[in-house]
Structure 1
Amino acid sequence: MAAIATGPGKTPNLLKRLLARPTSAAGLITITLVVLAAILAPLLTAYNPAQLSIVNRLSPPSPEFLLGTDDLGRDVFTRMLYAGRTSLSVAFAVVIVASLLGITLGLIAGFFRKADAPVSRLIDALMAFPDILLAIALVAALGASAFNVVLALGIVYAPRMARVVRASTLVIRELPYVEAARALAVPTRVILFRHVLRNITSPLLVQGTFIFAQAILAEAGLSFLGVGISPDIPTWGTMISVGRQFMNSAGWILFYPGLAIVVTVLALQLLGDGLRDLLDPRLAKDI
């Protein structure tokens, strides 16, 4: 199991090992640049993402407007940078919510035998629905807002994290050092956090990168359908939704946000694959 592959103390050179592999290095460098571009948005552009300029409506890419303007004359490059802030922040928050819910459910199901069946059935029931349909249903029930989108997507992706934690916990709870801790009457919460959770950080880290990528796609999908974050807040999904109306006459409005999503998700997938290969000893032997 990857769950018991490596602890935090066994990977001091993880960053160096990641950079030594071309694919994972490309993913790490790319996602770092994307995050820095979003954080440094005010320094990279002189425009306001909400600034209207009807006279410059649908202007093609030029030295003045690097990626052109949209139907309201807003600079596409500027909106892409600020949209990246929103999309990445929402996706990161989704990872946090999904991790908290998933780790809790997974530890309960994997460590406590009586709770395994009901919790596992709940996880299976949630995973039976397509991600986007379940997310739409939850957002429709909760209301469209950034907080509710994060909560809905966190619930959607929590079962994936829970299954990883449960499978890992089922193995670790039978190991001698856990049995010894239980025999010495060590409190259950201490066993869970000190002996179980600390030994499954590697697969959780890998799963978190994949959920990050999926959350970006899901948020973009919800925004594209108009059931996600308010259209007043720039996101890559809302930019694509606006751009589809001008696909033939001003394709740059749709193309560049779509390219940003593709590049970011691909970078996260490459990074996740690299982490999985390095942190799983069965795969690491072949590297």
Structure 2
Amino acid sequence: MAVSVAARSTRIAGIAKILRERKPLALGAALLLIIVVLCVFAPLFAPYDPNKLSIANRLIAPGADHFFGTDEFGRDVFTRAIYAGRTSLMIGAAATIFASVIGIALGLVAGFFRRTDVVIARVIDAMMAFPDILLAIALVAALGPSAATVIVALGIVYTPRLARIVRASTFVIRELPYVEAARALGVPTWRILYRHVLRNLLSVIMVQATFIFAYAMLAEASLTFLGVGVSPDIPTWGTMISAGRQYVGQADWMTVFPGLAIILSVMSLQLVGDGLRDLLDPRLRKDL
């Protein structure tokens, strides 16, 4: 027990040292933590019901009673922003998981098995030839607008990014001596892929996943703003900006605060991704 407590204390001290020495990573992690806590525990922080209409209080400017003002139906913008963040974060996280699972599988198969590489590589190249937002719009239009189809569409759009990176890294790892030794000893292929290939790609996957998370949140807001994403009945930062564009110049806070939420979320994810890349990549890491 004493050993485990000491090991835990050493680990915590090491994490604290890393955060002190890497200010951007610490800033990004702190911002992301605050946003996630506010959104996940929205009922604890929300001063009002997010869907309660109050026409008498419509388009009230930010003040003591309404931190971010009210919208065209008298709903509190701060309350709706943190509830909307739940949906935006959920869609971004789900799209990232979808893209990661499919991208890792395709990348491993293409990088480890030479016969499948030609077909999978051509499919990846063809998908990456289309601009992300145009491909997402086409997929959502084909599947129908809803939160689930947005997740699937964004997952498909960002799958090639991760698949290409995993494929290139697998090319290198499969030729290393310990992989050849495992093959010579008759270790099953699935075990080699899991223990010797995938485990050595975790740092690359973690870094890329943070970037995909940020891209997915931006893409969801863009799709919703264009009217082909999540239903307007579901509050997201994109739907709030889309609703507020009619009142630009009259009630700017309706678009400013959801826009700031997107900017801060994406910036924090980018800072965390850059920090993890510098920390986990031996070529960029200056100290341990």
* TM-superposed deviation, 1:268: 0.7
Instruction: Note the 1:168-207 alignment, pairs <5 A.
Output: 168-207=169-208
Worse-matched range after superposition: 44-53 or 97-106: 44-53
**Stretches of structure 2 lacking an aligned partner (at least 5 in a row):** 1-10
**Contact in 2 for aligned 1:52/1:72 (Cα 8 Å):** yes
CA 1:77–1:135 in 2, change beyond 3 Å: closer, same or farther? same
Following superposition of structure 1 onto structure 2, how do residues 48-87 of structure 1 map, counting pairs within 5 Å? Answer: 48-87=49-88
Give deviations 1:205-225, integer Å, cap 9, x for gaps: 000000010011000001111
2:121 corresponds in structure 1 to 120
- Following TM superposition, by how much is the alpha carbon of 1:46 offset from its aligned partner in structure 2, in angstroms? 2.9
Equivalent pair of 1:18/1:274 in contact (CA under 8 Å)? no
With over 3 angstroms needed to count, the CA separation of the structure-2 counterparts of 1:127 and 1:19, relative to structure 1, is farther
Find the residue that maps to 2:155 and give its secondary structure.
helix
**Which structure's relative contact order is higher, taking Cα pairs within 8 Å and 6+ residues apart?**
1
Q: How does 1:211-230 map to 2 (within 5 A)?
A: 211-230=212-231
Q: 2:244 is matched with which residue?
A: 243
**1:117 CA displacement:** 1.0
CA contact (8 A) 1:18 1:275 kept: no
Once the two structures are superposed, residues 79-100 of structure 1 have per-residue CA deviations (whole angstroms, 9 ceiling, x without a partner) of 0000100000110001100000
The corresponding residue for 2:18 is 17
Query: Aligned equivalents of 2:139 and 2:183: distance in 1?
Result: 40
Which amino acid in structure 1 is aligned with residue 227 of structure 2? G
**Which ranges of structure 1 fall in alignment gaps of 5 or more residues?**
1-10
TM value normalised by structure 1 = 0.94
AA paired with 2:92? A
Q: Percent identity, aligned pairs only?
A: 62
| Residues in 2 aligned to 1:120 and 1:242: alpha-carbon distance in whole angstroms | 41
Distance 1:226 1:67 in 2: 24
Q: Deviations over 1:80-138 (max 9, x none)?
A: 00010000011000110000010011001100011111100000001110001000100
| 1:230/1:89 CA distance change after superposition, 3 Å | same
* Rounded Cα–Cα distance in structure 1 between residues aligned with 2:254 and 2:63: 14
How far apart, in 1, do the equivalents of 2:257 and 2:61 lie?
Answer: 12
Aligned mates of 1:248, 1:70 — CA distance in 2: 13
User: After superposition, what is the alpha-carbon deviation per residue over 1:117-164, rounded to whole angstroms, capped at 9, x for unaligned?
Assistant: 110000000111000100010001111111111000000000000011
Aligned pair count reads: 277
Greater alpha carbon shift after TM alignment, 11-20 vs 65-74: 11-20
